């Protein structure tokens, strides 16, 4: 079950750490956020090391739909209501700058970079589209409110961001990883202060950045309450009409559409990890009805960390950890979030002021309705009697028949049928019982 991005792409291989080493900055996690952080720091002459438990790009980065956009659902009206227009403007400016930073790098890296308009559509409740459009107008952004979109489903319109982008994430990752000090197949088993203990060596660092998708250190930051995880599914289809633009439903469980070469990437079927959902069956049923001549060439799934308020957590791991940083909770917009994180973390580590810091601060207020939902899910998971339990915090696991995996409904860890760890925050395989 490899994504289309792995077709014909061979990433450079990096050695496994087999000795004790020292560095100024240690980055844990070899997805787009980690590699970009290492790249930007190295460009400023900072001594840094990146360690990855398997291979770089092998997690969410290799399973994304690879859209780079500042339009993250109908987020701007929500932020304006929760935190005010100034915060919404910071979020917009930060993500637009991340988009342009990608564009500048893509000029030097062959990665199938294409400018495309992005559309967030709705199948009902046009009022929410109009509210978002009005907020964007107040922010001075030239969005468009559309009455129709060229999709094979009935909608009530869409909000469009012009000149966003799509690209090939692994070609891009291969380009920026060249020359970096990276160790693959190097699993951090334990942190002792700023020392990272692996199976065959210890990394001693002055500063540590944890970009492991879901922050795995439980004693700081309460991320097990501030995050939950969501599965989503993708089909790559041939023999379908070409599509111009990128499209996503305003609802988490809706469908997304984008083209890649002669393929349509159809996404959807989503659900909270450990719960039931439409998965590939929903997508195949849609394709059979609306694209009867389509041929499926690839299918894959991705997992996204969802924050309490729709804004990522980027900055100090907690108020008490002055040389420990993290980035996570990208809410299905991991490519843009990865660049934004790298830019902000690089400034924090090199002691530069950044006007975005307070909006993305991981220690901002957690008093949101989703906090109660996350707490209830954890309580139910802990009280459910079942022999297979997640080694992260002990929740009962649920069998995922579509993907043949054991999934944790509390915090989203996943394990293969034979107990091998697939997705964190768990930091090891299932124990045999």
CA 246 from chain centre, in angstroms, equals 18
Helix (H, G, I), strand (E, B) or coil at 108: coil
pLDDT tens digits along 128-148: 999 999 999 999 999 999 999
Query: Are 50 and 195 contained in the same domain?
Result: yes
* Per-residue pLDDT at 384 exceeds 70: no
- d(CA 426, CA 190) in angstroms, rounded, equals 12
pLDDT band at 386 (very low <50, low <70, confident <90, very high): low
CB 319 within 8 A of CB 342: no
pTM, two decimals, is: 0.92
Mean pLDDT of 242-260: 94
In a domain, residue 165? The reply is: no
Give, as one character, the DSSP assignment of residue 427. -
pLDDT band at 368 (very low <50, low <70, confident <90, very high): low
- d(CA 182, CA 17) in angstroms, rounded, equals 9
Mean pLDDT of 371-389: 63
pLDDT tens digits along 17-26: 999 999 999 9
Q: For the purposes of burial, counting CB atoms within 10 Å of the CB of 290, is it exposed (0-12), middle (13-18) or buried (19 or more)?
A: middle
Query: Are 395 and 259 contained in the same domain?
Result: no
pLDDT band at 383 (very low <50, low <70, confident <90, very high): low
For residue 432, the model assigns a pLDDT of 60
Number of structural domains the chain divides into: 3
* Per-residue pLDDT at 433 exceeds 60: no
Query: Are 201 and 338 contained in the same domain?
Result: yes
Q: Residue 322 is part of a domain; what is its CATH number?
A: 3.50.50.60
CB 249 within 8 A of CB 128: no
Query: Are 248 and 380 contained in the same domain?
Result: no
* Per-residue pLDDT at 277 exceeds 90: no
Query: Are 222 and 233 contained in the same domain?
Result: no
* Per-residue pLDDT at 275 exceeds 70: yes
Query: Are 19 and 42 contained in the same domain?
Result: yes
In 167-252 the beta strands, taken as DSSP E runs, fall at 182-183, 190-192, 195-197, 202-210, 228-238, 246-249
For residue 152, the model assigns a pLDDT of 95
The lowest-confidence range among 47-56, 74-83, 178-187, 372-381 is 372-381
Token readout for 339 is 């660049």
In a domain, residue 70? The reply is: no
* Per-residue pLDDT at 204 exceeds 60: yes
pLDDT band at 378 (very low <50, low <70, confident <90, very high): low
Q: What's the domain range around 14?
A: 4-64+170-226+309-360
pLDDT tens digits along 262-271: 999 999 999 8
For residue 274, the model assigns a pLDDT of 85
In a domain, residue 176? The reply is: yes
* Per-residue pLDDT at 387 exceeds 80: no
Of the candidates 215, 165, 156, which has an alpha carbon nearest to the alpha carbon of residue 392?
215
Q: Taking the chain, what is the end-to-end CA distance rounded to the nearest angstrom?
A: 28
Mean pLDDT of 165-183: 97
Q: What are phi and psi of 207, to 5 degrees?
A: -135, 140
pLDDT band at 253 (very low <50, low <70, confident <90, very high): confident
pLDDT band at 367 (very low <50, low <70, confident <90, very high): low
In a domain, residue 402? The reply is: yes
Mean pLDDT of 319-347: 96
pLDDT band at 177 (very low <50, low <70, confident <90, very high): very high
Mean pLDDT of 100-114: 97
In a domain, residue 98? The reply is: no
CA 368 from chain centre, in angstroms, equals 21
For residue 370, the model assigns a pLDDT of 72
Residue 129 φ/ψ region, left for φ over 0, alpha for ψ in the -120 to 50 degree band, beta for the rest: alpha
Tell me what percent of the residues of the chain surpass a pLDDT of 90: 76
Q: What are phi and psi of 18, to 5 degrees?
A: -135, 25
Mean pLDDT of 417-422: 84
Tell me what percent of the residues of the chain surpass a pLDDT of 70: 95
Query: Are 232 and 299 contained in the same domain?
Result: yes
For residue 381, the model assigns a pLDDT of 56
- At 400, which helix (H) or strand (E)? strand 398-400
Query: Are 57 and 181 contained in the same domain?
Result: yes
What percent of the chain is helix, strand and coil (3-state, nearest 5)? 30, 25, 45
pLDDT band at 160 (very low <50, low <70, confident <90, very high): very high
- d(CA 316, CA 360) in angstroms, rounded, equals 10
CB 201 within 8 A of CB 189: no
Token readout for 310 is 């729709």
Q: Residue 407 is part of a domain; what is its CATH number?
A: 2.102.10.10
* Per-residue pLDDT at 369 exceeds 60: yes
């Amino acid at each position: 079950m490899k994504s289309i991005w792995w077709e014909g792409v061979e990433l450079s291989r990096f050695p496994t750490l087999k000795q004790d080493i020292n560095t100024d900055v240690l980055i844990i996690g070899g997805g787009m956020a980690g590699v970009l952080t290492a790249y930007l720091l190295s460009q400023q002459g900072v001594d840094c090391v990146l360690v990855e438990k398997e291979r770089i790009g092998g997690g969410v980065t290799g399973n994304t739909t690879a859209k780079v956009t500042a339009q993250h659902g109908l987020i701007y009206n929500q932020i304006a209501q929760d935190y005010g227009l100034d915060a919404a403007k910071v979020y917009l400016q930060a993500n637009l700058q991340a988009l342009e930073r990608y564009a500048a790098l893509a000029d030097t890296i062959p990665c199938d970079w294409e400018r495309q308009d992005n559309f967030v559509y709705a199948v009902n409740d046009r009022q929410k589209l109009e509210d978002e459009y009005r907020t964007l107008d107040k922010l001075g952004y030239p969005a468009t409110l559309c009455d129709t979109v060229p999709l094979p489903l009935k909608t009530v319109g869409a909000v469009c961001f012009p000149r966003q982008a799509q690209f090939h994430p692994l070609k891009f990752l291969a380009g920026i990883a060249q020359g970096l000090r990276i160790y693959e197949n190097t699993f951090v088993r334990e942190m002792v202060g700023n020392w990272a203990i692996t199976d065959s060596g210890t990394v001693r660092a002055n500063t540590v950045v944890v970009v492991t998708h879901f922050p795995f250190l439980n004693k700081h930051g309460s991320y097990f309450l501030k995050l939950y995880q969501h599965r989503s599914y993708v089909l790559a289809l041939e023999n379908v009409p070409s599509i111009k633009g990128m499209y996503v439903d305003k609802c988490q469980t809706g469908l997304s559409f984008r083209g890649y070469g002669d393929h349509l990437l159809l996404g959807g079927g989503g659900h909270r990890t450990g719960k039931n959902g439409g998965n590939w069956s929903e997508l195949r049923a849609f394709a059979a009805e609306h694209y009867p001549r389509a041929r499926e060439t690839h299918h894959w799934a991705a997992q996204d960390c969802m924050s309490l308020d729709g804004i990522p957590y980027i900055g100090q791991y907690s108020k008490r950890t002055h040389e420990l940083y993290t980035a996570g909770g990208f809410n299905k917009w991991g490519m843009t979030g990865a660049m934004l994180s790298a830019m902000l973390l690089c400034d924090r580590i090199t002691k530069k002021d950044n006007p975005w810091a307070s909006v993305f601060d991981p220690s901002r207020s957690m008093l949101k309705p989703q906090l109660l939902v996350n707490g209830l899910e954890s309580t139910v998971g802990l009280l459910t009697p079942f022999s297979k339990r997640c080694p992260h915090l002990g929740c009962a696991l649920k069998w995922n028949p579509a993907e043949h995996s054991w999934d944790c409904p509390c915090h989203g860890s996943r394990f293969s049928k034979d107990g091998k760890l697939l997705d964190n925050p768990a930091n090891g395989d299932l124990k045999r019982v």
